[in-house]
Structure 1
Amino acid sequence: MITIQLNDRQLKIIEIVKEREPITSENIASSLNVTRATLRSDLAILTMTGILDARPKVGYFYSGNNEVNLIGNNIKERKVENIMSVPVLTKKDGSIYDAIVNMFLSDVGSIVIIDDDDNLCGVVSRKDLLKATMGGTDIQKMPVGMIMTRMPNIVTLDKNDTVLTAAKKIIEHEVDSLPVVEKSEDESKIKVVGRISKTTITKLFLEVVDS
């Protein structure tokens, strides 16, 4: 059986849950003197792998599994470049209307915005586009660059990052997907080469579990 390597905080969480189950995330965070947000990715991994069980309005329980082969080295060591999909891009000067059409035709939750040199400059989500349509904006004339989240406030991935890193970033930042980029040495040029989403990672888990 292939096991995953848990970090020190995850091991402490398991011990706390064993001793005090059922226990809420608030109480776990208090015991470790950290915020709930800090524990979000750790708890997600522990429940996803079956070590902990979470019940709404009750708390966390220890499942009794000491070894986990759900993730294993097959996923832990897999690189982002091996599973990334083609990014959905649009120019910053394109209209909000065109961005909406692009989003729904591509069936994605966010679109990456690039400048005239094809460098990453922003991201727009469904929420951003919905706000624009409800605000009385002329979406056929206003450029999407006016409503995008701009660099450097965009979380990205490198193609050599692990899938585990990608999953943690998606959970921690509560986003649907992340752009995979290649940066020049001085980071003046940031090219978008791929996309990792919750769906991409879920498909990988199913592939490994069903194999």
Structure 2
Amino acid sequence: MQIGHLEARPRVGYFYVNKKPYQTIIDKIMKLRVRDFLSVPVVVSENTVIYDAIVALFVNDVGTLFVVSEGEILEGIVSRKDLLKTTLGKVDINQVPVSVIMTRMPNVITTTMEEGLWHAGRKICSHEVDALPVVKEITQDKIIKYKVVGRLSKTNITKAFVDFGLGKFGSEEENDY
């Protein structure tokens, strides 16, 4: 068991662990998982017209909608920018489905429940997106597909950071920063 900068072992006793002061915090951050911070996904079907997608975006107060087929299988995503660009054009938003303007798989960056929160946050930053679909890999007809099980946004990561600062993770023993 490790307590700060000392480690305890049976029949050995306590000894100094040569870790830099911030290394303990980094270790704790690297243990955080997406499953502990995800939120409910906001999904629309491929056949949803653009107008209804815009309404769903505002009603649910999100910046990205996940486009799914039957069985919640991820087919693509549509962002605020995609919808805004479309409304500025000469497109009948009451007739055109979101499948026409969405970013399609496999060009969608995803994360999983077991991925580290830090790694998922790095994906969000490097790809300059607002949210990632949290997916579960399934096989249909010998083809790997992704079922949407959650959503990880910049807000989720900010909440994790704030909670971490407040010491809301693990046992009381682990919270002695």
TM-score tier by shorter-chain length is: 0.7 to 0.9
Q: Do residues 122 (structure 1) and 60 (structure 2) align?
A: no
* AA aligned opposite 1:144: V
Cα distance in 2 for partners of 1:70, 1:206 equals 17
The counterpart of 2:91, out of the listed 137, 145, 148, is 137
Q: Please state whether the residue corresponding to 1:157 is helix, strand or coil.
A: coil
Match of 2:100 among 140, 143, 146: 146
Distance 1:142 1:88 in 2: 20
Partners of 2:63 and 2:131 lie apart in 1 by: 7
2:40–2:151 Cα contact (<8 Å) kept: yes
> Aligned equivalents of 1:142 and 1:121: distance in 2?
17
Question: Segments of 4+ in structure 1 off by > 2 A?
Answer: 66-75, 185-189
Judging by fraction of residues, say which structure has more strand. Answer: 2
The answer to whether structure 1 residue 104 and structure 2 residue 63 are counterparts is no
Q: How many angstroms apart in 2 are the aligned matches of 1:113 and 1:87?
A: 10
Match of 1:91 among 45, 55, 68: 45
The TM-score with structure 1 as length reference comes to 0.66
- Assess, with a 3 A threshold, how the Cα gap between structure 1 residues 71 and 102 changes in structure 2: closer, same or farther: farther
Equivalents in 2 of 1:2, 1:151: separation in Å?
A: 45
Distance 1:79 1:172, change over 3 A: same
Aligned-partner Cα distance in 2 for 1:81–1:170: 16
**Could you say which structure has the larger radius of gyration?**
2
Identity of paired residues, percent?
Answer: 44
Maintained 8 Å contact 2:71/2:147: no
* Larger relative helix fraction: 1
Aligned to 1:113: 67
The equivalent residue for 2:118 is 164
Letter in 2 for 1:205: F
> Alpha carbons of 1:150 and 1:96: their partners in 2 closer, same or farther (altered >3 Å)?
same
Structure 2 vs 1, CA of residues 187 and 201 (structure 1 numbering), >3 Å: closer, same or farther? farther
Task: Please list every run of 5 or more consecutive structure 1 residues that lacks an aligned counterpart in the other structure.
Answer: 4-65
Aligned residues: 149
| Unaligned residue ranges in structure 2 (runs of 5+) | 6-19, 168-177
Counting only pairs closer than 5 Å after superposition, residues 1-211 of structure 1 correspond to structure 2 as 67-68=21-22, 71-185=25-139, 186-211=142-167
Give me the TM-score of the superposition, normalised by structure 2: 0.78
Change (3 A) 1:206 1:109: same
Aligned pair in 2 of structure 1 residues 198, 70: CA closer, same or farther (>3 Å)? farther
Query: Please, what is the CA RMSD of the aligned residues?
Result: 2.0
